[in-house]
Amino acid sequence: MNIKHNIELAEKTTLKIGGPARYYAEPGNAEEIKHLLGWANENSLPVFMLGRGSNIVISDQGFSGLVISSRAAFNKIEWKGQQALCESGASLPALVSQAIEKGLGGIEKLGGIPGTVGGALIMNAAAFGQEIGSVVESVSYIDPADLKTKTLLGPALQFGYRWSSLQGRNVCVTAVTLRLRPENPASLKETYRHCNTQRKQKLPLDLPNCGSVFKNPTGQSAGALIEQCGLKGYECGGVRVSEKHANVIVNFNSGNAEDVRKLIGYIQKKVSDKFGIMPEPEVVFVGDF
């Protein structure tokens, strides 16, 4: 395996923030991932699976272990009727586009989410009332403990708001099978266009960001709570709360991870003081904070 040293990670994330990976590799198949996990085990190294780098904040110190990037080569999508067989690094927007062209529905509202299928599965990515977990048929993963490939079928998988039962299990998802449903292609395209128009109007897509920062509290909108605290446009170092959407932090002037961490803490305090609600981050922190 071609394992690289001290590879900068900032440009591999949508927030454009973060230090280097001590070790970095781009496997092309599941067997190569097994070899990498085995090598990491032998050297007592932590492992982080990196997709398209959305929904994460990487430490300014970087990651002291092995970063395995799935998006570079481990990204194939195959179709068998209404089934989509996806490698974990497959682009979610690309999958949605292919499904629409085939007249298959169930994920058309997710086309604007800039992530991989594997990442979307772990977080149960959702938009406009549609979530990927509702169409997942099976998941294959490598267990780092024994380096064996295992498969979970639908009934063994659980999904909730920004959550799946695979979270916190320290497994490496390699493949996801989705089962979609036949629908009118013109109708799917119109839904896709409508959702993307809404995203462009509401989200600051012109600046680096990591998407929604906080989960919505039950019955509440995190963005609305933050906006009511008067925090739109509030700056910390090189990052700020977006003027377009208060639940998004943008990197407008070469911000760093510490800026993001401080701003998140400040938002949490203000919302907690005003409403008695502690916003829970949706974004994942990677590395030493």
d(Cα 118, Cα 282) in Å, to the nearest integer? Answer: 17
Is residue 212 annotated as part of the catalytic site, yes or no? yes
Kindly name the residue from 69, 70, 140, 162 that is annotated as catalytic: 162
Q: Tell which residue, 158, 142, 124, 132, has the closest CA to residue 70.
A: 142
Is residue 169 annotated as part of the catalytic site, yes or no? no
| SS3 of residue 77 by DSSP | strand
Q: Which helix (H) or strand (E) holds 96?
A: helix 92-101
Is residue 280 annotated as part of the catalytic site, yes or no? no
Q: Tell which residue, 209, 178, 213, 20, has the closest CA to residue 114.
A: 209
Q: Provide CB contacts within 8 A for 11, sequence distance 6+.
A: none
Kindly name the residue from 164, 212, 242, 261 that is annotated as catalytic: 212
d(Cα 132, Cα 196) in Å, to the nearest integer? Answer: 17
Alpha-carbon dihedral 29, 32, 33, 34, rounded to 10 degrees: 120
Exposure on the CB side of residue 65, measured as CA atoms within 13 A? 22
d(Cα 90, Cα 219) in Å, to the nearest integer? Answer: 33
Q: Are 68 and 27 in contact (CB under 8 A)?
A: yes
**Active site amino acids:** 162, 212, 282
